[in-house]
Structure 1
């Protein structure tokens, strides 16, 4: 342990002088471009791992190395509303990511990333919390410039996917194991237009070493397009996503699922007023039943940089369909597909199915590096005949013991400290006050969670 701390200290010292000129890390690490860096006699150790030329006096080919170390301490009181085995000491989640990005020439590249996630002192770790060592990403990519402003890219292999607001397709950053897909992906991009077409099999994590093999029990495909700088609406996403699962579980039953999602998103991320409006309609089959599900969401924020502490006020709200009659020939439970794991905060207590919620928030910039945020979420079941689900669509409570709709309220608070572009600290706490539905379906205790996250990227 002392050796690891000493090595981390030496690393942080070596990169501190570089922090001011480092480009921001991307949510998808393969999107980073370090080709502009040139190795010279004055380059530091960090420069040398981000841009390693593989031929003398040439920009290409080159190799770039990077990674991440993340520690998260969690303490939960009354986990699963008192239904889980009590854990008095809390637990520590650790995640290590390391990647190599090889650019052979201006057309061809290969990207490989390993992931190791451990749940220390966790009584019953889930598969998204512990996966000792596995191949997380490994793909090859070919890119062509069909004109001065148009590119066409083909990417094949294991890779992360992330689209839009991450309500439906995300890398699952907050949980310990990030999400990956074995996929073939085509990317067409012009100046203000981008369109991705993909076919994939989601990787099913297993709790061993290098055992996350090809998953034949689920398929995921789609077309996702984005128009930027559109008149009046600013930015528009429109998409189709298809999913097939050999076995899916809902309150309505268990069986084969084929589901299609069509949706659109209108968004703006500049100026004092910012917004994100999205609507999705789903259809298909579950067992021998017909799927008809939907969701609409709104996320609006207002911020004035001229004001002291630069307060940012936000209001989210969404309605997400649930099944009105589990015994008929129609399924109306919305499937969020592969959403961000911490959909309603790091506590990740509830997933986005059969819900109506109102979610105000406020954020303050206490210093250039320190932010404080608070949000309050109020949850109801949209249908009293359907249950509530986890973000991965597993049934939490089926709701067969009550017709109560009010689930409860969640108050969360956090401090975020960005020491430099490499080091990030976050302290947060969440209080979930159980409503009549939770009290009828479980032990009904209020949940308290606190977490401390330390993350280093390089």
Structure 2
């Protein structure tokens, strides 16, 4: 198996080198959607949800039911945001003709497609020493087939089937192992309201990234994205406002065929309101999420949990600078304790478009609250509903709990289709009395003597070779602080390389 992994890795890198560049990044532990992930690969670092790099997608998709689709005739990371409404010439290649198969008339048509992705990861200390024997170097293989039936402008039926395999893994990751099953299956019914906008109802199973995807993400770093089953309803007045409401359950990923099902021990409800360009050109979002879990885990143990997140976001992106600021407060109950937690998240940067390589200097800063006193009646540890762990580390090393981090970055564009992002991640605990939470399971290191956790050095190289073909490589090297080493923390190195074909 080692030989086959070497061949896979060599082919991915060789293809990139032969064509003059390379691509984005991923991880073999479940991160969860999102701005970084939704550029098409596990890390497309500068994209909005559903959006490709600027050259290939001048029109941004809006990842809500009934929202604006992406640039016509281009595959998207979120497949139901694609626009294949225009008839295709009978002389076009078959791969184009299957995107618009008319059924009686041009506005009633079937669109067929799919994806094939191979992804190699190599880990030294995947959990930074929190668990024993945590070296891991699996190969993931993702296959997708989809059918999107448009029955006029107001009704559509979307079905996506998937097959997910993982080879050579020493640590079981359920989202990487899901034989043939239904990924998505939903019906969209849109009610036009004239000048007042439109209302779209979506019952079924679906992907559901929200906002910038930091708190509710796609999770593209593993074979299987985060899926939900239930009902979603979206009111949209294009260019003015959207109001997205949902009542869903996360889908359990099982190692078997056609056996994935809603997780009846968890529920997820909420409202997300977005109004672009309303305050001096800034967009303003507001949201409420409620997550109920029969059993939740943190450093204080296990208990039932009912956690609400109340948040607001201010954002803008121009040709030269970008800013995204978000704040969230959490309330509710964990067992017998009241929840009082919070988070502040900031991304910003300045791009020099007329300078060689179009450099962007960026800074990401986050604070996720921890618990300062395990003996009182209040839990202060922040827990995101479905976080994008890659925001904190290329390999998804840390969780959104009791963490402060700074991430200065430099982005370069050696070609219009190539993006290189490099930078450092600096980590501290918010509260010394609380632990350092590692991985999606939130396993916590015992309390150490200092706030500092460590530093990671990262590089992510992405290449959109064609409108359908993408490559990527990335590396992240984590250096623990002496304080973390004193309680068993170890260095960690993550390497990822992938290729993805969407049709």
Q: TM-score, normalised by structure 1?
A: 0.91
Deviation at 1:391, TM superposition (A): 5.3
The more displaced of 177-186 and 58-67 is: 58-67
Q: 1:296 aligns with which of 332, 344, 356?
A: 344
Match of 2:449 in 1: 403
**Distance of aligned partners of 1:53 and 1:296 in 2 relative to their CA distance in 1, 3 Å threshold:** same
How many angstroms apart in 1 are the aligned matches of 2:134 and 2:216? 33
Q: 2:102 aligns with which of 53, 58, 64?
A: 53
Match of 2:198 in 1: 151
- In the alignment, structure 1 residue 28 sits paired with structure 2 residue 102: no
Native 8 Å contact 1:343 1:351 kept in 2 = no
Q: 2:374 aligns with which of 311, 314, 326?
A: 326
How many angstroms apart in 1 are the aligned matches of 2:472 and 2:118? 11
Q: Please list every run of at least 4 consecutive aligned residues from structure 1 whose deviation after the TM superposition is greater than 6 angstroms.
A: 19-22
How many angstroms apart in 2 are the aligned matches of 1:220 and 1:303? 38
Query: Which consecutive unaligned segments of at least 5 residues does structure 1 have?
Result: 6-18
SS of residue in 1 equivalent to 2:486: helix
Native 8 Å contact 2:393 2:425 kept in 1 = no
How many angstroms apart in 2 are the aligned matches of 1:312 and 1:23? 29
How many angstroms apart in 2 are the aligned matches of 1:113 and 1:341? 25
SS of residue in 2 equivalent to 1:169: coil
Equivalent residues, number: 436
- In the alignment, structure 1 residue 98 sits paired with structure 2 residue 145: yes
For 1:220-369, list aligned pairs within 5 A: 220-232=268-280, 234-369=282-417
**Distance of aligned partners of 1:432 and 1:254 in 2 relative to their CA distance in 1, 3 Å threshold:** same
Q: 2:461 aligns with which of 375, 396, 415?
A: 415
Q: 1:445 aligns with which of 467, 490, 503?
A: 490
Deviation at 1:149, TM superposition (A): 5.6
How many angstroms apart in 2 are the aligned matches of 1:446 and 1:162? 32
- In the alignment, structure 1 residue 112 sits paired with structure 2 residue 159: yes
Deviation at 1:231, TM superposition (A): 2.7
How many angstroms apart in 2 are the aligned matches of 1:425 and 1:34? 24
Q: 1:166 aligns with which of 184, 209, 213?
A: 213
Deviation at 1:33, TM superposition (A): 1.8
Match of 1:205 in 2: 253
- In the alignment, structure 1 residue 430 sits paired with structure 2 residue 476: yes
Native 8 Å contact 2:90 2:97 kept in 1 = no
Deviation at 1:150, TM superposition (A): 0.6
Deviation at 1:378, TM superposition (A): 0.3
Q: 1:43 aligns with which of 85, 92, 97?
A: 92
- In the alignment, structure 1 residue 195 sits paired with structure 2 residue 243: yes
Match of 1:9 in 2: none
Deviation at 1:97, TM superposition (A): 1.9
How many angstroms apart in 1 are the aligned matches of 2:256 and 2:405? 38
SS of residue in 2 equivalent to 1:50: coil
| Cα offsets for 1:273-321 (capped at 9, x unmatched) | 1100000000000101100000011111100111111001100101110
Deviation at 1:411, TM superposition (A): 0.5
How many angstroms apart in 1 are the aligned matches of 2:428 and 2:393? 17
How many angstroms apart in 1 are the aligned matches of 2:452 and 2:432? 10
Q: TM-score, normalised by structure 2?
A: 0.83
How many angstroms apart in 1 are the aligned matches of 2:432 and 2:425? 19
How many angstroms apart in 2 are the aligned matches of 1:200 and 1:403? 41
Which structure exhibits the higher relative contact order, with contacts defined as CA atoms closer than 8 Å and separated by 6 or more residues?
2
How many angstroms apart in 1 are the aligned matches of 2:333 and 2:372? 16
Native 8 Å contact 1:407 1:437 kept in 2 = yes
SS of residue in 2 equivalent to 1:342: helix
| Rg comparison, structure with higher value | 1
SS of residue in 2 equivalent to 1:61: strand
Match of 1:10 in 2: none
Deviation at 1:22, TM superposition (A): 6.6
SS of residue in 1 equivalent to 2:262: coil
Q: 1:77 aligns with which of 124, 127, 131?
A: 124
Native 8 Å contact 1:339 1:391 kept in 2 = no
Deviation at 1:341, TM superposition (A): 4.2
